[in-house]
Amino acid sequence: MIAGAGEWQPRRLLAFTGDSCQAWEATAAPAAGYAEAPASKSDITFRGTQIGTRFHLQVDEAYRVELDVIDRSGRPTRFVGSLYNRFGDPLVLVALDSDCELQVARQIRYSENGQAISIESLDAALAPQGEPDWLNPPLLFVERAADKALKHPGDATPLRVGMVDSGVNYRLPEINRRLARDENNRLIGFDFWEMDDLPFDAHPVNSGFFVQRHGTRTASLLLREAPGIELVPYRYPRPDMSRMQALVEHAASNQVDIVGMPLGSNRQEDWADFARAARAHPHMLFIVSAGNDGRDIDERPVYPAALDLDNIVVVTSADDFVRPAERTNWGRISVDYLVPAERLDTMDYSGKSTRVSGSSYAVARVTALAARLKMSRRDLRAADIVAELRQRYGDPGSGALDWVSSGYIADPLAAAPIRLEPLPDLVISRPETRVGVFLPLDVLVLDPRWTRRTVEQALQTAYDILWQCNLLPGDVSIRAFDGDDYLRDLSTGSARTLLETADSRHATVVFARDTRMQAQFTGEAFGIGNTRRRPWLTNSVWLMLDVDDPGIALAHELYHVLANSGDHVDGVANLMQGRTRPDSTQLTPEQCELAVVNGLANRLLQD
C-alpha cells in the first residue's frame, strides 16, 4: 500500500527526493517504492534550451508528486520534489543540491475552505521558521486620522483610483490607511484571481511555492505622487482573463474613473472582454503599460496597449536621453508617452524603500498625474484628461516622436510653485590683471548642506584653475531653492522643471543633493553636444553632495561645457582626466584655445 498524502507532508517527500538523488548515478530514475505506477516524464526548458527532466508520479487518485532533476553541466546539480493535490494546488516542496543536502523546504498552508494562506519556510528539521510568506492574510484596517488632503473641497468623498496588478500588501500601514472603503467600512478592492475580497500582493511563479511581489511597488508610487486619493486595489484575473469585464464593471459601479494597469500579454484574445467593457464606459480612463520586452509594439503588439481604444493612455519608461529605457517597449502608433520611470524610489512589499525601473512605474506616475488633474476638476472625463495631458504635459519635441505618438512627459509632478531666493553676492577674488575673457555664472543651491562657505570655495578654486586659460570671474548670481523635495536631485525630467523656472542668462552651476540618473556620477556637465534631445539641460553643471574636491570637479565640468566636448585625456597632471584628482589641475594651450573659442562662440564667455 502506497503512503497517503498526509504521510508525504513533508518528511516522506524529503525521503523520496533524497533516495532519488542518492540512487541517481546508478538508476537515472526516481526512487522505487513510492508510487504504484511508473513515472512519466517531460523536458524542463529555459529560453528554448533543455535544462533538466521532470518526472510525474501519481501517489494515489488524490495526490501526485513531481521530481525535477536539473542538469546544466552534464550531471545533476539540483533535485526538487513537489507534492500537489488532485486540483493541482501545491502543498510541499523540497530542493536538494548535487550532494543530496537539503537547500530549501517550503510548505503552503490552506484555510478550511481551501484558500492558500501562506508559504512557510522549513528548517533542516522540517519545522517552520521565520515569518510566513503571506498569500492571503486577513484584512484588518488600521486607524487613520482625518486627512483633509483626501477630500477635494466641496466633495463628500475622496477620489478613488484603481490599480490592476498583483494586489497590494494591505498589512502595511502606509497602504492600509489609504485603501478605499464603502459606507460599511468594507474594502472596495477585489481579487479577481481567486475571486475573493482579499487582493493581497502575491503572484505565484512556476510551481507556486515561490511568489513575486509587484503591486505594492506600483501602488505605493501612485499613492506618493497622488496624496489626495484613495486606492482601490485589484488583483488581475490571470486564471481567466474574461473576468476583466467584471473588473471594469466593479470599478465603474464604485465610482472609479481612473484605473492604472501595469500589466499586459502577447495574446489579443486575453483582452477582448476588457476592450468590450472599456468601450462601454468611455468616461473611464485606463493608463496602460507598453511593456518591457525591448521591442516596437506596432510591429509585435502587446495587449492591452495595442488596442484601439479612445480611453486608454499607453506609456513607457524613458531613459536619461529621452529615449525608451533599456528593455522597455515603444511604438509610434501604439504608445502615447515617454515618461521618466527609471531609478525611482518607492516602497516594496516589506515596507522598505527600494529603487525601481520600467514601464509599470510610468503607469503609476501618469495614473497619479491623471488623478491630480481630476481632483482639480471633478467633472473631467477620460477625453478631457487625455486632452489635458496632450496640451499641458506632453512635449512633442526632444525627439520623442521618433518613438511614441504624443511626446515626452518630462516631469509628471510639475505643478507646485518653486521659489529661488536670491542670496547675498559671493566674494570671488580676481587676478590683478584683467586681461582675458569673463565667465559669468548663475548658481543654484538645492540643498542647505551646501554651505555658503563651501560653495564660495568651490567657485574660487574653479576660477583659479581656469585662470591658466585667461578666464576671469564674471558676474556670479546665487539663488537658494525652495520647493518640492524631489527637485533637489539631478534627473533629466525634473531638471526641466527647475531650470525652466530658473531661466538663467548664463552657464548654470547647480549644487544638488544627489543624482537619479541611470549612470551615476558625482559631477555632470551638459553642453550643447550632449543635450540635443534635452535642451533644457544645455550649459548646466551639476555637483552632488558626495563629490570629491568640489572646486576641482567644478573646473573639470565647466571645461566640458565651455569646450563643448566630453573628451578626457590620459595626462597625470591634466584636469581633464576621466577621474579628477587633487593634484591634477593643468590644461594645455590647445585645451585652453578650444574652451575660449567655443565658449565665446556659444556666448558663455564675455570679452
207 and 111 assigned to the same domain: no
* DSSP code, position 464: H
Reported in sequence order, the residue ranges of 10-75 that DSSP labels E, i.e. its strands, are 40-46, 49-58, 63-71
Confidence class of residue 434 from pLDDT cuts 50, 70 and 90? low
C-alpha span between 179 and 190 (Å, rounded): 12
Confidence class of residue 7 from pLDDT cuts 50, 70 and 90? low
What the block records as the C-alpha cell of 221 is 508610487
Q: What is the pLDDT of residue 404?
A: 98
440 and 568 assigned to the same domain: yes
pLDDT tens digits for range 129-168: 998 889 989 898 987 655 544 444 445 578 999 999 999 9
C-alpha span between 305 and 295 (Å, rounded): 13
User: What percent of the chain is modeled with pLDDT above 90?
Assistant: 81
pLDDT at 372 over 70: yes
Q: What is the pLDDT of residue 61?
A: 79
What the block records as the C-alpha cell of 483 is 520647493
C-alpha span between 119 and 129 (Å, rounded): 11
**In Å, how far are 52, 340, 361 from 516, measured between CA atoms?**
41, 10, 15
User: In this structure, which amino acid lies at residue 125?
Assistant: A
pLDDT at 208 over 60: yes
100 and 76 assigned to the same domain: yes
pLDDT at 400 over 90: yes
CATH of the domain at 443: 3.40.390.10
Over residues 408-414, the mean pLDDT reads 96
Q: What is the pLDDT of residue 506?
A: 97
Work out the burial of residue 229: count CB atoms within 10 Å of its CB; fewer than 13 is exposed, 13-18 middle, 19 or more buried. Answer: buried
Over residues 586-596, the mean pLDDT reads 97
Query: Residues near 26 by Cβ (< 8 Å), separated by ≥ 6?
Result: none
Of the candidates 339, 288, 329, 295, the residue with the CA atom closest to the CA atom of residue 309: 288
CA angle 531, 533, 539 (to 5 degrees): 20
Range of 464's domain? 419-601
The answer to whether 317 and 359 are in contact (CB under 8 A) is: yes
Region of residue 545 (phi > 0: left; psi between -120 and 50: alpha; otherwise: beta):
alpha
Q: What is the pLDDT of residue 1?
A: 26
Domain boundary among 409, 442, 476: 409
The pLDDT mean for the chain works out to: 92
Q: What is the pLDDT of residue 465?
A: 97
Quick check: is 482 in a domain?
yes
pLDDT at 37 over 90: no
pLDDT at 383 over 60: yes
Confidence class of residue 386 from pLDDT cuts 50, 70 and 90? very high
399 and 264 assigned to the same domain: yes
C-alpha span between 496 and 502 (Å, rounded): 10
Quick check: is 557 in a domain?
yes
User: The cell 503572484 sits on which residue?
Assistant: 203
The answer to whether 79 and 95 are in contact (CB under 8 A) is: yes
What the block records as the C-alpha cell of 19 is 533516495
Confidence class of residue 8 from pLDDT cuts 50, 70 and 90? low
305 and 185 assigned to the same domain: yes
394 and 427 assigned to the same domain: no
User: The cell 529605457 sits on which residue?
Assistant: 325
What the block records as the C-alpha cell of 212 is 513575486
Domain boundary among 87, 119, 134: 134
What the block records as the C-alpha cell of 13 is 517527500
Q: What is the pLDDT of residue 5?
A: 46
pLDDT at 325 over 50: yes
User: The cell 527609471 sits on which residue?
Assistant: 342
pLDDT at 15 over 60: yes
Q: What is the pLDDT of residue 148?
A: 45
115 and 261 assigned to the same domain: no
Domain boundary among 409, 443, 471: 409
pLDDT at 429 over 70: yes
Q: What is the pLDDT of residue 75?
A: 83
Q: How many other C-beta atoms are found inside a 10 Å radius of the C-beta of residue 204? A: 18
Residue 101 backbone dihedrals phi, psi, to 5 degrees: -95, 140
Over residues 296-304, the mean pLDDT reads 98
State the DSSP H helix or E strand holding residue 386, giving kind and residue range, or none if neither.
Answer: helix 382-388
392 and 427 assigned to the same domain: no
Quick check: is 142 in a domain?
no
Q: How many other C-beta atoms are found inside a 10 Å radius of the C-beta of residue 326? A: 13
Q: What is the pLDDT of residue 380?
A: 97
Least confident of 5-19, 40-54, 177-191: 5-19
CATH of the domain at 186: 3.40.50.200
C-alpha span between 15 and 84 (Å, rounded): 16
Q: What is the pLDDT of residue 63?
A: 85
401 and 482 assigned to the same domain: no
What the block records as the C-alpha cell of 14 is 524529503
Quick check: is 255 in a domain?
yes
C-alpha span between 423 and 54 (Å, rounded): 71
Over residues 29-54, the mean pLDDT reads 88
Domain count, the chain: 3
Express the helix, strand and coil content of the chain in percent, nearest 5 each: 25, 30, 45
* DSSP code, position 306: T
479 and 379 assigned to the same domain: no
591 and 471 assigned to the same domain: yes
Quick check: is 606 in a domain?
no
93 and 182 assigned to the same domain: no
What the block records as the C-alpha cell of 580 is 579628477
What the block records as the C-alpha cell of 29 is 530514475
User: The cell 494546488 sits on which residue?
Assistant: 89
DSSP 545-570: TT-SSHHHHHHHHHHHHHHT------
Quick check: is 151 in a domain?
no
